[in-house]
Amino acid sequence: MTTIEKIKKQIGDNPIILYMKGSPKLPSCGFSAQASQILSQCGAPFAYVDILQNPDIRAELPKYADWPTFPQLWVEGELVGGCDIMIEMFQSGELQTLVKETASKYQTA
C-alpha cells in the first residue's frame, strides 16, 4: 500500500480525523494541542494520526491535501483546515454543528 493509499484509507475509514503532532493526550506542538482540545470540546469521538510517528504521511499529506501545515482536520473526506480555521469555526459554533452532525450520521446502534 502506498502512502497516498494509506492516507485515503484513513480519511475514508474515519468520518472525523485529525492529523497532528503527537496525540490528543500528549500533543507535541501548540497548534496540535489547540486543535485537539477544540475538537474534544465538540463532544464527538474522532480519530487522529500522529505525523511524528508516521514520517511518510508527514511528507505526503501536505501534497495530497494541498495544505502545507499541520494539524489538519478532515471531516467526511473533506479537508476542513488547520488550527486557525478550526478556532474561527469553533467560535462561530460552526465546528460543533459539523462535528455533531457528522458523528450522529456514523453512530452505530
**Residue pLDDT, tens place only, 62-82:** 999 999 999 999 999 999 999
More confident residue, 109 or 43: 43
Instruction: Check: CB of residue 70 under 8 Å from CB of residue 20.
Output: yes
Stretch 74-94: mean pLDDT: 98
Q: Residue 109 above 60 pLDDT? A: no
Closest CA to 17 of 70, 76, 62: 76
**Residue boundaries of the structural domains of the chain:** 3-106
**Residue pLDDT, tens place only, 49-58:** 999 999 999 9
Q: What pLDDT is recorded for position 96?
A: 97
**Residue pLDDT, tens place only, 35-49:** 999 999 999 999 999
Q: What is the CATH number of domain 3-106?
A: 3.40.30.10
Q: What is the 3-state secondary structure (H, E, C) of the chain?
A: CCHHHHHHHHHHHCCEEEEECECCCCECCHHHHHHHHHHHHCCCCCEEEECCCCHHHHHHHHHHHCCCCCCEEEECCEEEECHHHHHHHHHHCHHHHHHHHHHHHHCCC
Q: What pLDDT is recorded for position 108?
A: 62
Q: What is the pTM of this model?
A: 0.95
All three cell numbers of 106, joined, read: 456514523
Would you call the peptide bond into 71 cis, given omega within 30 degrees of 0 as the criterion?
yes
